[in-house]
Structure 1
């Protein structure tokens, strides 16, 4: 993962989940991610890079995506995900 010029970047490592629990995205400390959709575990896997509060994704199948952390919420393309530990 890369940070800003000053070395800072958003703390994104952990499990991120949609409010209905259908999509679960694990961002690992090694810069890899795994996204589960419903019962389909590892529906998407790949690498991610962090620059400030922005995330770039490169899926192992070749497509790319982006995301941003705003007020502790991950906005990944059309998805809104919250840290799992914040779910009640």
Structure 2
């Protein structure tokens, strides 16, 4: 038997025993859900501030957020999504950030926030 015939036979054998691929579910977060917030979403909703009060973030139940830096008069808004203990932020200008919620502390980059 030639090498090419052996490889062809092995290929046919492998396709017969290979597991079927599973359906791939897109990694999307539906902002139009009308269900009640999950416990993780419920824990995230509210106003968060840094220890020095320099930054305030208001996370709303509709998936929108408003960020303020009162001393500078700066304001930003956008949307956020909760995936268990991770929060994904997207600002109106296109910037994105990842936050982590753990034991009552919201961490975004080097900043730490606590509920106001």
Same fold (TM over 0.5): yes
User: What are the residue-to-residue correspondences of 1:1-88 with 2, within 5 Å?
Assistant: 8-10=38-40, 11-39=43-71, 40-41=73-74, 43-84=75-116
| Structure 2 CA distance for aligned equivalents of residues 54 and 9 of structure 1 | 13
| Structure 1 CA distance for aligned equivalents of residues 50 and 69 of structure 2 | 10
**Equivalent residues of 1:9, 1:53 under 8 A apart:** no
Deviations along 1:39-77, one digit per CA (max 9) or x if unpaired, are: 325x21100000001000010001100100011100011
Structure 1 unaligned runs (5+)? none
Where has structure 1 moved over 4 Å in runs of 4 or more?
none
Tell me how many residue pairs correspond in the alignment: 79
**C-alpha RMSD over aligned residues:** 1.8
- Give the structure with the higher percent helix: 2
How does the TM-score come out when normalised to structure 2?
A: 0.62
Alpha-carbon offset, residue 83 of structure 1: 0.3
Structure 2 unaligned runs (5+)? 1-28, 31-36
